[in-house]
Structure 1
Amino acid sequence: MPAETEPHTCTWMAWPSSGYTDGDDAREAWASVALAVAEFEPVRMVVDPSAVKDARRWLGNAVEYFEAPLDDAWMRDIGPTFVVGPDGLGAVDWVFNGWGGQSWATWERDARIARQVAEWAGATIIGSELVNEGGGIHVDGQGAVLVTETVQLDPGRNPGWSRNDVEAELFRTLGADRVVWLPRGLTRDYAEFGTRGHVDIVATFTAPGAVLLHLQTNPRHPDHAVYDAIKAAFPAGWIVENLPAPEKINDATGPVDHSYVNHLVCNAGVVACTFDDPRDAAALDILAAAYPGRRVIGVDARAIFARGGGIHCITQQEPAVPGGKP
């Protein structure tokens, strides 16, 4: 699996049209992300047949449309994880079971999206029996992969799987050779609409051996205490740069998990979460320094986070294949 910073053919997304991702505020946020990504690379939008007219109303001709039945719109998790091998583009089709069988989730249609997207992309499908989501992994493109103990070892996902079992499957499917296990994710991610610890809201690679790590500076927020345990999990010698959380620490239901870590790196750009927060500008500056030569666009992600995710969660990059078609 190439690093996200490597060239992309396109970015895949799914249009929110039903379930708890429904609502005009969600459609506005998803559309804003799609339009921002489209400034850097093509966007391919999977749309439920019932919502094609609605999607076109928001996006016009800015994206390419693909019709398929959907339950929700979290393409990072329901779509394939793209890889590159000697035979060209591959796509890992993880088992998807609604983030560990969450009581509110439906996934009969979403569980088929990875294979459908892989076929549209012309990728070789790599089947897997591991229950996993794209938001539960981050790779550096050089063999290292970040995961959290509470996702891949979640009894609701992979009962009976050991660390060795998970690592062997990640080695086989992603071409990885070492796994860094973080102990957990952010606190809000264990609430009703959480994923139980996705890594892509906690830490991300900017280069091999270099990560950006979510830092909650306010001691009144429970993630302030989580930080030390997560940081201690990184190998000695790695460069760990802090990406401070927004100043806002609570909403109507408790501590928020607003995170600037949950951004998408595109061709020549970065599409980043903003929250109408005093720390937005500083976060965008940190991201610009972390990805030199790329233009950073901030998009208000509050409506996405209110539904349990961020910009990285609703996007999935398709890497360019050396010598292949752009």
Structure 2
Amino acid sequence: MSGLRLVPDWIPHSYCWMAWAIDPSEWGKDARGARQELREVIATISRFEKVRLLTPPNLLGDARAQHFGSDVEIVEAPVDDIWMRDIAPIYALSEGEPVCIDLNFNGWGSTNYRRARPGDRLAGVARDLFASTMLNAPFVAEGGAFVVGHDAVVFTTRSCLLNPNRNPHFCRSDIEAGLIRLGAKKVVWLEGDPDEKITSGHVDGYILPAESGELLIQRTDARDHSAMLRNLDIRTLQGLRAADRNAVPVRLVSAPRIAMRTSEFFADSYVNVYTPNAAVVAPRFGDPLRDADARRALERAFPGRKVEMLSIPHLASGGGGIRCLVQPVPASTAV
């Protein structure tokens, strides 16, 4: 497609997709808390841009009872999960107009830690909701598997996209060629985290290309195999050069301390944020020092935006962060 280009999260949006689909049978004791936190995330984002909230038929009454207001449009859909970054199609721009891309989501490689659902093929079964036409990626992925920075530079991990549970017959050059066909200008490969149980090391758990041009990278206090790979990735990114050959500025953000974790899947990422128009919506974890440090880093990285930090311990216990909940639709830039 002519002029296809992958775009950063922080460009202007027309609206975003979210979902009202907490399944108590999966969330167990965290279901009530996750639902309350999800409501707060939706309400906060809707202060800055319109939210189109996909809702299964059995939860339409419950969604309406939340009284979100006119900036949240409730849309009936066959949705059965809240992680819209992964289960929904992503968007790029072509000649300045948004284009929908189906990443062929397969349930994060159909791991043993999460049961398959019909809604995993949301991009297919609800295709008409997202766009009149949709491109298909030439590989299996999900929106959390890569992040996009300035000049359509894409950051991704070997542990995720080269995992046999997603792309068993593809090598690095195959995936890279596919990303460039979808609108990447350059692909930066990182090690990731093959030990991460659900996503096999999504890059958006520790890398945030910022509007300022900085790369925010979350470091860890751990001293295990995953931490060793993280340090390798930090060194790779510290040596990165921009298109003008200048070094890309890197800022390290410390993870909340391990005592704050509440489950083995806990997503303790300060850099898994969503950037609605004029704002940054980020998590806080009840670690006063590191919460404050993360806020300062985000304020520097996104100058002029209002930083809203929300407590999401129950959502994080399910393995995701705020970015994972949202799929943005870029605004048209066509003249």
TM-score by length of 1: 0.90
| Structure 2 counterpart of 1:231 | 234
Count the aligned residue pairs.
318
Preserved contact between residue 211 and residue 302 of structure 2 (Cα < 8 Å): no
| Structure 2 counterpart of 1:20 | 26
| Structure 1 counterpart of 2:256 | 246
More strand by share: 1
Measured after TM superposition, the shift of residue 145 of structure 1 is 0.2
Residue by residue over 1:254-305, the C-alpha shift from the partner in whole angstroms, topping out at 9 and shown as x without a partner, is 5954110101111000000111222212211211111000001011121111
Pairing 1:57-96 to 2, within 5 Å after superposition? 57-61=65-69, 62-86=71-95, 88-96=97-105
| Structure 1 counterpart of 2:128 | 119
CA distance in 1, matches of 2:117, 2:140: 14
Preserved contact between residue 31 and residue 59 of structure 1 (Cα < 8 Å): no
CA distance in 1, matches of 2:148, 2:56: 30
| Structure 2 counterpart of 1:156 | 165
1:198 aligns with 2:202: yes
2:274 partner letter: L
| Structure 1 counterpart of 2:244 | none
Measured after TM superposition, the shift of residue 184 of structure 1 is 1.1
Residue 105 of structure 1: SS of its match in structure 2?
Answer: coil
| Structure 2 counterpart of 1:110 | 119
| Structure 2 counterpart of 1:272 | 282
Preserved contact between residue 138 and residue 205 of structure 1 (Cα < 8 Å): yes
Measured after TM superposition, the shift of residue 195 of structure 1 is 0.8
1:40 partner letter: F
Residue 176 of structure 1: SS of its match in structure 2?
Answer: coil
| Structure 2 counterpart of 1:140 | 149
Task: Check 1:87–1:268 CA distance in 2 against 1; reply closer, same or farther (3 A cut).
Answer: closer
Residue 142 of structure 1: SS of its match in structure 2?
Answer: helix
| Structure 2 counterpart of 1:210 | 214
Task: Check 1:256–1:106 CA distance in 2 against 1; reply closer, same or farther (3 A cut).
Answer: closer
1:280 partner letter: D
1:304 aligns with 2:309: no
Measured after TM superposition, the shift of residue 21 of structure 1 is 4.4
| Structure 2 counterpart of 1:130 | 139
CA distance in 2, matches of 1:20, 1:51: 16
Preserved contact between residue 268 and residue 293 of structure 1 (Cα < 8 Å): yes
Task: Check 1:249–1:226 CA distance in 2 against 1; reply closer, same or farther (3 A cut).
Answer: farther
Pick which of 164-173 and 177-186 moved more: 177-186
| Structure 1 counterpart of 2:16 | 11
CA distance in 2, matches of 1:86, 1:313: 27
Unaligned runs of 5+ in 1: none
Residue 119 of structure 1: SS of its match in structure 2?
Answer: helix
Residue 214 of structure 1: SS of its match in structure 2?
Answer: strand
CA distance in 2, matches of 1:281, 1:315: 24
Residue by residue over 1:91-136, the C-alpha shift from the partner in whole angstroms, topping out at 9 and shown as x without a partner, is 1101111100113434442233224666334453111241100011
CA distance in 2, matches of 1:6, 1:85: 14
Aligned identity (percent) is 33
Preserved contact between residue 103 and residue 141 of structure 2 (Cα < 8 Å): yes
Unaligned runs of 5+ in 2: 1-5, 242-246
Residue 225 of structure 1: SS of its match in structure 2?
Answer: helix
